[in-house]
C-alpha cells in the first residue's frame, strides 16, 4: 500500500518528505506533526509555498490523519542544499491556546456534550460523543482566562469520558473502544523492538478516602472521618495512600468511585508496552489508530495472548530508521478518566453518615 505522506496546504499537495514525525493519542490533544524535506540541488524542484497559519490536511496514502493549521514553516539553504521544515497541530489547538467564551460565566443543568459543543463552536470546531446517558453537569463557574479545553477536559472527566481530536480536526468525547486491530503485535512478525516497563512505585496497598484533611469527628468514634477504604492485594508490603474527598452533592459516592479508580488505574499503568513496528499499518492495512484494542504476543517479555489498548501512535520516517510506527500500549483500565468534582465545597458535617 502506498504510504506516501502528503501535506495539503497553501493550494499545494506536498509529498516526498524525508523526515516525518506524526503523533496521535487519546491522552494528547491536539494531534501534531513535524516534517522535513531536503533537496541536494537547490532549484531543481517546484517551489514549496506554505505560510504559518495556513489550514492543512495531512494524509498517509488516502487516509487523513490530521486536519488543522500550520504552526511553523522554516525554509533554509546553503551552498549545496535547500531544505524546508513544517510543523502543525490539529484544529483543536484553538481550544487549548485560546480562552473559553461563555456569556454568563456559569454552567448548570446540561451535559458534557452540550457544554463542549458550545465552547468549541466559538472556534469553528464541532464535538461528537458516542456515549449515551451522560450525567447532568452540576452548576459551576468558569474562571476568566481558563481555556476552552480546560473546561471541556474537566467536565469530561466528571462524565467519565476521554477527550481527543479526530482526523477531521474536530473533538470526540468517548470511552475506551472495543474495536480490534487485525494481526496485532507479535514477536518475530512485526515487532522490531519491544519494551515493557513494570513499575511498583505508584501502587499502594491501601487507599483511604477521608471527608476532610483534619480529624474533627473524634466524638463520633475513631475513623468517623473515613468514607471508604480499598485494598490492592497485589502490593505485598504496607504502602498507604490517603485521599481527601472533594465535597459536593453526592460526594460520598464520588469518593468511592475515586478510590476504586485510583487503584485500578495505578495497577493498569504499572505495565506499559512500547513497541516499534515495521509498518504504519496493521495486518489488514488499517493505520495504527489510538483507542483501538491490540492483541499482543511478546514471549520474551512474558506477554502472551494479551489484549491491551493502543494509547498513542507516532508515525516516523527518516534516513536512519526508515518507516516505522512507535506504539504505546497499556491495559484498558489505564485509560479510565478520573472521577472529579466540578465545584469543591466544604463538607457539611450534618450530612455525614451517622451524624
| Higher pLDDT among residues 196 and 45, named by residue | 196
What mean pLDDT do residues 118-127 have?
A: 96
Most trustworthy range by pLDDT among 4-8, 135-139, 257-261: 4-8
What mean pLDDT do residues 286-301 have?
A: 95
- The pLDDT assigned to 43 comes to 52
- The pLDDT assigned to 340 comes to 53
Same structural domain, 29 and 82: yes
Give domain status of residue 151, yes or no: yes
Calculate what percentage of the chain has a pLDDT beyond 90: 50
Confidence of residue 248 (pLDDT cuts 50, 70, 90): very low
Give domain status of residue 353, yes or no: no
- The CATH number assigned to the domain holding 320 equals 2.30.300.10
Task: Give the whole-angstrom CA distance, residue 130 versus residue 326.
Answer: 27
Task: Give the whole-angstrom CA distance, residue 257 versus residue 244.
Answer: 13
Residue 144 in this model has a pLDDT that exceeds 80: yes
| Higher pLDDT among residues 112 and 226, named by residue | 112
Give domain status of residue 348, yes or no: no
Number of domains forming the structure of the chain: 4
pTM recorded for the entire structure: 0.82
What mean pLDDT do residues 96-100 have?
A: 95
Confidence of residue 193 (pLDDT cuts 50, 70, 90): very high
What mean pLDDT do residues 288-316 have?
A: 95
Left (φ > 0), alpha (ψ -120 to 50) or beta: where does 124 sit?
left
CA angle 283, 287, 290 (to 5 degrees): 115
- The pLDDT assigned to 227 comes to 76
Task: Give the whole-angstrom CA distance, residue 292 versus residue 179.
Answer: 5
Confidence of residue 133 (pLDDT cuts 50, 70, 90): confident
Same structural domain, 316 and 194: yes
Confidence of residue 352 (pLDDT cuts 50, 70, 90): very low
Smallest CA-to-CA distance from 89 within 164, 29, 6 is with 29
Give domain status of residue 38, yes or no: yes
Cis, peptide link before residue 83, omega less than 30° from 0: no
Poorest-confidence range of 19-28, 137-146, 239-248, 275-284? 239-248
Poorest-confidence range of 52-61, 75-84, 187-196, 267-276? 75-84
Q: CB of 152 within 8 A of CB of 119?
A: yes
In the block, which residue shows the cell 497559519?
53
Task: Give the whole-angstrom CA distance, residue 323 versus residue 245.
Answer: 48
Same structural domain, 258 and 299: no
CA atoms in the 13 A half-sphere facing the CB of 333: 12
Question: What CA–CA distances, in Å, run from 297 to 189, 214, 224, 244, 307?
Answer: 10, 49, 48, 40, 9
Task: Give the whole-angstrom CA distance, residue 261 versus residue 13.
Answer: 46
- The pLDDT assigned to 48 comes to 67
Tens digits of residue pLDDT in 56-79 = 999 999 999 999 999 999 988 877
> How far from each other are the two terminal CA atoms of the chain, in whole angstroms?
68
Same structural domain, 294 and 262: no
- The pLDDT assigned to 70 comes to 96
Neighbours of 110 (CB within 10 A): 14
Residue 318 in this model has a pLDDT that exceeds 90: yes
Give domain status of residue 315, yes or no: yes
Same structural domain, 110 and 155: yes
Q: Is 67 helix (H, G, I), strand (E, B) or coil?
A: strand
Average of per-residue pLDDT values in the chain: 84
Confidence of residue 289 (pLDDT cuts 50, 70, 90): very high
What mean pLDDT do residues 340-350 have?
A: 45
Confidence of residue 338 (pLDDT cuts 50, 70, 90): low
Same structural domain, 112 and 166: yes
Same structural domain, 103 and 195: no
Calculate the CA 66 to chain-centre distance.
Answer: 15
Same structural domain, 194 and 76: no
Q: CB of 216 within 8 A of CB of 225?
A: yes
- The pLDDT assigned to 202 comes to 81
Poorest-confidence range of 17-21, 80-84, 191-195? 80-84
Give domain status of residue 345, yes or no: no
- The pLDDT assigned to 259 comes to 77
In the block, which residue shows the cell 481550544?
95
Give domain status of residue 351, yes or no: no
Smallest CA-to-CA distance from 136 within 173, 110, 154, 155 is with 110
- The pLDDT assigned to 346 comes to 39
Q: Is 257 helix (H, G, I), strand (E, B) or coil?
A: helix
| Element containing residue 253 per DSSP (H, E) | helix 251-268
Residue 185 β-bridge partners: 296
Same structural domain, 281 and 327: yes
Query: For residue 227, what are the domain limits?
Result: 206-268
Size (the chain), residues:
355
Amino acid at each position: 500500500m502506498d504510504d506516501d505522506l502528503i501535506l495539503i496546504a497553501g493550494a499545494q499537495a506536498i509529498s516526498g518528505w524525508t523526515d516525518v514525525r506524526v503523533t496521535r493519542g487519546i491522552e494528547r490533544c491536539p494531534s501534531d506533526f513535524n516534517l522535513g524535506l531536503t533537496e541536494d540541488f537547490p532549484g531543481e524542484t517546484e517551489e514549496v509555498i506554505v505560510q504559518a497559519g495556513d489550514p492543512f490536511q495531512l494524509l498517509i496514502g488516502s487516509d487523513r490523519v490530521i486536519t488543522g493549521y500550520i504552526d511553523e514553516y522554516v525554509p533554509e539553504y546553503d551552498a549545496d542544499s535547500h531544505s524546508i521544515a513544517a510543523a502543525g497541530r490539529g484544529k483543536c489547538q484553538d481550544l487549548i491556546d485560546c480562552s473559553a467564551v461563555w456569556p454568563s460565566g456559569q454552567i448548570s443543568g446540561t451535559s458534557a456534550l452540550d457544554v463542549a459543543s458550545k465552547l468549541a463552536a466559538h472556534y469553528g470546531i464541532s464535538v461528537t460523543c458516542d456515549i449515551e446517558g451522560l450525567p447532568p453537569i452540576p452548576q459551576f463557574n468558569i474562571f476568566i482566562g481558563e481555556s476552552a479545553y480546560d473546561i471541556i477536559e474537566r467536565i469530561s472527566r466528571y462524565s467519565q469520558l476521554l477527550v481527543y481530536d479526530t482526523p477531521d480536526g474536530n473533538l470526540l468525547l468517548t470511552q475506551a473502544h472495543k474495536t480490534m486491530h487485525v494481526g496485532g503485535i507479535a514477536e518475530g512478525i512485526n515487532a522490531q523492538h519491544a519494551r515493557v516497563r513494570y513499575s511498583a512505585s505508584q501502587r499502594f496497598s491501601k487507599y483511604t478516602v477521608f471527608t476532610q484533611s483534619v480529624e474533627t469527628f473524634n466524638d463520633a468514634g475513631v475513623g468517623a472521618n473515613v468514607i471508604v477504604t480499598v485494598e490492592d492485594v497485589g502490593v505485598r508490603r504496607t504502602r498507604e495512600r490517603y485521599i481527601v474527598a472533594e465535597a459536593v452533592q453526592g460526594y460520598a459516592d464520588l469518593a468511592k468511585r475515586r478510590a476504586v479508580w485510583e487503584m485500578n488505574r495505578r495497577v493498569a499503568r504499572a505495565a506499559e508496552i512500547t513497541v516499534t513496528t515495521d509498518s504504519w499499518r496493521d495486518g489488514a492495512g488499517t493505520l495504527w489508530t489510538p483507542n483501538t484494542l491490540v492483541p499482543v504476543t511478546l514471549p520474551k517479555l512474558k506477554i502472551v495472548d494479551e489484549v491491551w489498548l493502543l494509547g498513542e501512535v507516532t508515525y516516523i520516517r527518516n534516513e536512519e530508521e526508515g518507516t516505522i510506527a512507535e506504539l504505546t500500549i497499556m491495559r484498558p483500565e489505564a485509560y479510565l478518566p478520573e472521577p472529579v468534582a466540578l465545584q469543591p465545597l466544604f463538607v457539611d458535617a450534618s450530612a455525614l453518615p451517622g451524624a
